Homo-oligomer: A and B are copies of this chain.
Amino acid sequence: MTNIRDLAKMAGVSVTTVSRVLNKHPYVSEEKRKAVLAAIESSNYQPNINAVHLSMGKTFLVGVVVPFIDHSYFALLIKGIAMEALENNYKLVLFQTNYDKERELEALQMLKQKQIDALLICSRASGWPTIADYISYGPIVLCEDGREKNVSSTFVDHYRCFLFALNYLYQKGHQQIGYCIGRKSGTSSKFRGMAYKDFVTRYHLQHNPSYIFNHCNYFEDGEQVIEQILKMEEPPTALLVTSDEVAAGIVTCAHKQNISIPEDLAIIGFNNQPIAQMMGITTIDIPLIEMGRKLFLQGINPSEQVTHQEMEMQLIERQSV
């Protein structure tokens, strides 16, 4: 492999000059520039990026922590992040954690070791103190309400979101409302749970724990939801489903079991994905791609300023309510 010194020799100039033309710095005579360019051409030279990184203390690599890559919510977030990364000439290092704290630590470790310039945490299993230990090593950005924390964040207010949807269903006449989430722990579930509790209290409704369906991440998870509902003496008349894919699975299974949507069971999905449009599912639009972009920008933004971006949600009314 030819290196910058070889190039210098070939072109009859110094390494500095080579470096300058490589990095398009000014103050290089046209003559020498051409010589260097010729040397580069003829030698098929390629800079060793690791040397650049060592020298600059920067890698143009940004870490992205997600629990699952094959979940539409995260896939869309990543898509947005990837788009912005592309535009800014960064590459992404993906950490699929499966909510394993060990793997989250690996990501934080890479930040500490400077192998990545920033770390975007889309969802996490680790407690905040664990992560807080690493904020001095590089920018960490959270995809959750981080206003109480000293890192940047982009998020939707899940409390407000849920409350809005619950009220909407209530206005449509529903009093027995359940909801589906991916996991019980996790900050968004916490906020949603609070919204649900407040809603139930406000309208003096029953808080029925069996109306909360956990582990709903994929289309096929809709099956269990319907199975459980069929077993209930007093099933919910409406369901908030935190992923359109799961909502689609529920609708599909409901049809199989002759449960009419929305007559027997109203459904509100989340994220406004194509599958929801196709199946006529009312949903709450969350601009995930846009969120991904913002997350990325917060990560690489050189300003030391910690910022917080709240994203707006929007109800898309279709035929499932």
Residues of A in contact with B (beta carbons under 8 Å apart): 46-51, 53-54, 57, 59, 61, 69-70, 72, 75-76, 78-79, 82, 86, 91-96, 103, 106, 109-110, 112-115, 137, 218-220, 223, 245, 248-249, 252-253, 255, 274-275, 277-279
B48 touches A113 (CB 8 A): yes
Contact: A219 with B219, CB < 8 Å?
yes
Q: Which B-chain residue is minimally distant from A102 (CB atoms)?
A: B86
Point out the residues of chain B lying under 8 angstroms from A47, CB to CB: 113
Give the docked Cα–Cα distance between A72 and B219 (Å): 12
Q: Is the CB of A82 within 8 A of B96?
A: yes
Name A's interface SS: helix
Q: Is the CB of A79 within 8 A of B70?
A: yes
Contact pick for A82, options B49, B69, B86, CB 8 Å:
B69
Complexed CA–CA distance, A86 and B94 (Å): 12
Interface centre among A48, A78, A106, A277 (most CB of B within 10 A): A48
B residues within 8 A CB of A252?
248, 252, 279
CA distance A53 to B49 in the complex (A): 10
18 further contact pairs, Cβ within 8 A, besides A50-B54, A82-B96, A249-B278: A46-B109, A46-B113, A46-B137, A48-B54, A48-B113, A49-B110, A49-B113, A49-B114, A49-B115, A61-B93, A70-B70, A70-B78, A86-B103, A91-B115, A93-B94, A218-B275, A220-B277, A252-B252
